[in-house]
Structure 1
């Protein structure tokens, strides 16, 4: 039994890594092609729509990827309980999708510049909503990541091939959400068929109050994810409102932010794999070794890229994005800080018994970001570059807060290391 659990853990870990790195691979392929075809103006429109829909995606998901995954995992041996959780989550998502659609239509008709691209926003919303109904929480809770990984990689491959085949002019920018929608719809049909026929999990009647209870239990996860995501999408949203979505500045920022986001995400598997190991073993010396291994070459790489930022952006994304190098140059310190931010989070604070500070630091950073954006807006100094500086400050806030908490409680840190030394001797 123990070996079986280890094999399941290993298999799911491998597929999680495949799922993560496939995203990097396909992104690196599609982004340069899209930027060259669409140019800053139309690429900015698509980026603004995606940023706007991220808010709705958070509402539809409502933290179920965390809360429902944990509930499924706890009751995986009870097929009836799993069916109830599955039914409640899908019903809740349906309700939240309907409310979100009403809000979106109202916003689009109230704001003229959004009304002009109504089709783009509806297609992007539909692709996001359909994706939200994919039962990721179920597969994660049952620890059957193979199916979801194959499905996701297939969607990404489909999206890439369709973009290369059909996206030929800037005016076809709506093809980006359209092909994503088609891929997600096919994946949803196949996933629901697998859940019903292979896993034998079907929709079941819910007793009164169970749906409300499910939503209420997931609300803390929802607010936590809102805080963690707000500064990632709010920048693009603010830029679109200030300059209009089709403005060149929006496209320049979206392209730069996409590269920084991809680089940041590359470090998340390290933190994700270290987290359970650190909770169990509290091997802080290993943490130090990893940081010493990562940080020097990363800092040197960011400095070199900063020097050649403009020609790099022109080479990677196309000549029209040469000026985006000045934006990327400001954002590069965020990449350099990311390993410290991630590893000083849950992998360090949880073994020290201070996990609450990981979430608190993210929420404080989100508040700093919103305050900074508001000050830029009301003082009339809002530009794409000042926006980047505010983002840099808010990200540094996370690192500073976590660093101070670790330093303040370094006696715990030292005690754990001493215990390791004693156990080794």
Structure 2
């Protein structure tokens, strides 16, 4: 039984990697083309819009990717219960999307800088909102990723091709969110068909209070995820508001941050697929093996990339982005510690009964980040370089916090590891 669970974990991890990383991969392969066509200024505009919409994406997701995944994993033997979870989450996302759209329109109307590019922000919001309705939590909890992954990959590849075919001048920058929206919409239609016809999961009537209970249960995960994203999103927003979204400095930072974010997502599917597995099996030995295997090559890769950062950025994104290598070099420590941050988060702390500390660690990090930004502004020391330094420091705060919690509670870790070794009768 244990071997069967591990085989299922491996297959789910591989397909979750493909599904999660494909979006970033297809986005990444278009980045060199976008940077050459749009240049730092217009690329910065698109990056600013994406950063702004990330907040709305977090509101719409509301932490369901963690709370609902765990609920589905625990109840996947009951199709009726899974259908209730699925219905509640999708209804909740609908309500949060409507609320977010109203807020966005008000902000765009009030802020002249945003009102001038309203189509860009509305299209970017639409692409993000549609993507948020893809029920990743359902497939992760059920650990059945194969069919949906293959279909989504084909659809995403087709619409990435559209960007290469139609994006020809800087003035076409709105094509980036437009084709992303179309691709996400078609993918969502296929996914809903698969959920209804093949998984036999349909919308059901919810008893009074169940929807609110679902939202309330997920709220700690929401605050954790928005805190974890503050550094990445807020940095771009601060730069855009300080220099204007079309400033070359914003484009340089966005390009570097996009690469760092993509590198981080290389570890996210592994942690995400381990999460439901660890909730059910608590196999800490496997967790330790994975950490010891992936950390050395990650650290070595960051060192090599740091040495040749400027040359890499010029080769990958074009000569205009040569100076962005200095920004990338400062942000690389974040990539180096990401596997540990992810693995010591929910996959470790949840089965130890300490999930609240995974949330608290990101909140503490966000507070450190905001305090650091405030100090930089008040002292007149705010630059792209000092921003990167504060960001790296705040991310190390997450790691240090989680290491301390795991170490202080290592007796729980040892006890539950021994439980895994007890033969199943």
- Aligned-partner Cα distance in 2 for 1:141–1:400: 29
Match for residue 280 of structure 1 among 276, 279, 282: 282
- Aligned-partner Cα distance in 2 for 1:141–1:297: 30
- Aligned-partner Cα distance in 2 for 1:118–1:235: 21
Which structure 2 residues correspond to residues 191-202 of structure 1 after superposition, within 5 A?
191-202=191-202
Per the alignment, residue 145 of structure 1 pairs with 145
Which structure 2 residues correspond to residues 78-117 of structure 1 after superposition, within 5 A?
78-117=78-117
The alignment status of 1:64 with 2:64, answered yes or no, reads yes
SS of residue paired to 1:203: coil
Q: Structure 1 pair 244/5, CA: closer, same or farther in 2 (3 Å)?
A: same
Asked which structure has the greater CA Rg, the reply is 1
Q: Structure 1 pair 188/269, CA: closer, same or farther in 2 (3 Å)?
A: closer
Cα deviation 1:101-144 (Å, max 9, x = unaligned): 11000101111111111000000011111112223333333433
- Aligned-partner Cα distance in 1 for 2:138–2:264: 27
Per the alignment, residue 373 of structure 1 pairs with 373
**Comparing 47-56 with 399-408, which one deviates more in the overlay?**
399-408
Per the alignment, residue 362 of structure 1 pairs with 362
The alignment status of 1:304 with 2:304, answered yes or no, reads yes
Cα deviation 1:266-297 (Å, max 9, x = unaligned): 2335545666569634338x83x765655555
- 1:166 is displaced (CA, Å) by 0.8
**Comparing 109-118 with 303-312, which one deviates more in the overlay?**
303-312
Q: Retained in 1: the 8 A contact 2:21–2:265?
A: no
- 1:23 is displaced (CA, Å) by 4.1
- 1:185 is displaced (CA, Å) by 1.4
- Aligned-partner Cα distance in 1 for 2:356–2:140: 24
Q: Retained in 2: the 8 A contact 1:136–1:148?
A: no
- 1:71 is displaced (CA, Å) by 3.2
Cα deviation 1:246-279 (Å, max 9, x = unaligned): 1111110011011112222223355456665696
Q: Retained in 1: the 8 A contact 2:220–2:359?
A: no
Q: Retained in 1: the 8 A contact 2:345–2:358?
A: yes
Q: Retained in 2: the 8 A contact 1:283–1:420?
A: no
Which structure 2 residues correspond to residues 98-247 of structure 1 after superposition, within 5 A?
98-247=98-247
- 1:301 is displaced (CA, Å) by 3.6
TM-score, normalising length from structure 2?
0.87
Q: Retained in 1: the 8 A contact 2:282–2:416?
A: no
Q: Structure 1 pair 281/39, CA: closer, same or farther in 2 (3 Å)?
A: same
- Aligned-partner Cα distance in 2 for 1:196–1:6: 28
- Aligned-partner Cα distance in 2 for 1:381–1:138: 46
- 1:245 is displaced (CA, Å) by 1.1
Cα deviation 1:297-316 (Å, max 9, x = unaligned): 54444333323222221111
TM-score, normalising length from structure 1?
0.87
Uncovered stretches (5+) of structure 1, i.e. residues with no partner: none
Q: Structure 1 pair 316/95, CA: closer, same or farther in 2 (3 Å)?
A: same
Aligned residue pairs, count: 421
- 1:191 is displaced (CA, Å) by 2.5
**Comparing 341-350 with 324-333, which one deviates more in the overlay?**
341-350
Per the alignment, residue 37 of structure 2 pairs with 37
- Aligned-partner Cα distance in 2 for 1:273–1:138: 12
**Comparing 357-366 with 256-265, which one deviates more in the overlay?**
357-366
**Comparing 63-72 with 348-357, which one deviates more in the overlay?**
348-357
- Aligned-partner Cα distance in 2 for 1:27–1:11: 24
**Comparing 114-123 with 360-369, which one deviates more in the overlay?**
360-369
**Comparing 250-259 with 305-314, which one deviates more in the overlay?**
305-314
Q: Retained in 1: the 8 A contact 2:221–2:359?
A: no
- Aligned-partner Cα distance in 1 for 2:107–2:254: 22
- Aligned-partner Cα distance in 2 for 1:337–1:58: 23
- Aligned-partner Cα distance in 1 for 2:251–2:16: 31
SS of residue paired to 2:337: helix
**Comparing 125-134 with 330-339, which one deviates more in the overlay?**
330-339
Q: Structure 1 pair 244/348, CA: closer, same or farther in 2 (3 Å)?
A: same
SS of residue paired to 1:283: helix
Uncovered stretches (5+) of structure 2, i.e. residues with no partner: none
- 1:228 is displaced (CA, Å) by 1.9
Per the alignment, residue 262 of structure 2 pairs with 262
- Aligned-partner Cα distance in 2 for 1:399–1:237: 25
SS of residue paired to 2:322: helix
- Aligned-partner Cα distance in 1 for 2:418–2:73: 35
